[in-house]
Chains A and B, each alone.
Chain A
Amino acid sequence: DGGITQSPKYLFRKEGQNVTLSCEQNLNHDAMYWYRQDPGQGLRLIYYSQIVNDFQKGDIAEGYSVSREKKESFPLTVTSAQKNPTAFYLCASKLKTGVSGQPQHFGDGTRLSIL
């Protein structure tokens, strides 16, 4: 079955530590996205990538970094510069870059907490 896999499901970060969240898709989608969701709120865009080896900042990119070395993979690193990282992180993908009217497909998220 095609889909998006996020791992781990739960992650704990110590002070001053960088952590990396994994997102893998086997849908052959061009575009991938990372969102942050705080309790009772909507999704805010962190970074997105429309093509391999290229990515753009979203609305809340500070304290985060990404890479897109393969079409299937779009890992997100939460750096120690992100002072309030506790949140639910969602990865999504879309079939074609720059084409309007296509839905995004989501993984089941990673819940990150501070130790």
Chain B
Amino acid sequence: SQQGEEDPQALSIQEGENATMNCSYKTSINNLQWYRQNSGRGLVHLILIRSNEREKHSGRLRVTLDTSKKSSSLLITASRAADTASYFCATETSGSRLTFGEGTQLTVNP
């Protein structure tokens, strides 16, 4: 079953703008992870936020987690054309498996 729902399904912005993607989930989690997928390729891990954390940064990425609302957001600042990809959230409730959302397709126009 798909625990994560992502919003929006697709996002198109201009280079230099910020991109925000949201993820909602249904059950309690240990952590939430964000992955990136370039067209026709495998997923690449971007950032992980644990259930006791509220915000985390990595370079141009900022992730927030609100466990009371069961939601997370991924912010990409100063976007570049190379950021064009699909972005997926994934939740981990035990140490054995992840449950992925449907993804947000981000297009950054030069």
Chain B interfacial residues counted at CB < 8 A: 27
Nearest CB in chain B to that of A48: its residue: B97
Contact B95 A42 (CB under 8 A): no
**Stretch from B12-20, B37-45, B54-62, B71-79 at the A interface:** B37-45
Contact B88 A42 (CB under 8 A): yes
Chain A contact-residue range equals 20 to 34
Contact B95 A100 (CB under 8 A): yes
Q: A7 CA to B105 CA in the complex, in Å?
A: 26
B68 at the interface (CB under 8 A from A): no
Which residue of B30, B33, B48, B101 is within 8 Å of A42 (Cβ)?
B101
On whether A101 and B50 interact (CB within 8 A), knowing A33-B97, A108-B41, the answer reads yes
On whether A97 and B95 interact (CB within 8 A), knowing A59-B1, A106-B44, A108-B41, the answer reads yes
User: Footprint of B on A, CB under 8 Å?
Assistant: 4, 6, 31, 33, 35, 40-45, 48, 50, 56, 58-59, 88, 90, 92, 96-101, 103-109, 111
A-B contact pairs, 10 of them (CB 8 A): A33-B97, A41-B102, A42-B4, A45-B97, A45-B98, A59-B1, A100-B30, A100-B95, A101-B48, A104-B43
6 pairs of A and B residues whose beta carbons are closest in the complex? A106-B42, A103-B45, A98-B95, A42-B100, A43-B100, A100-B30
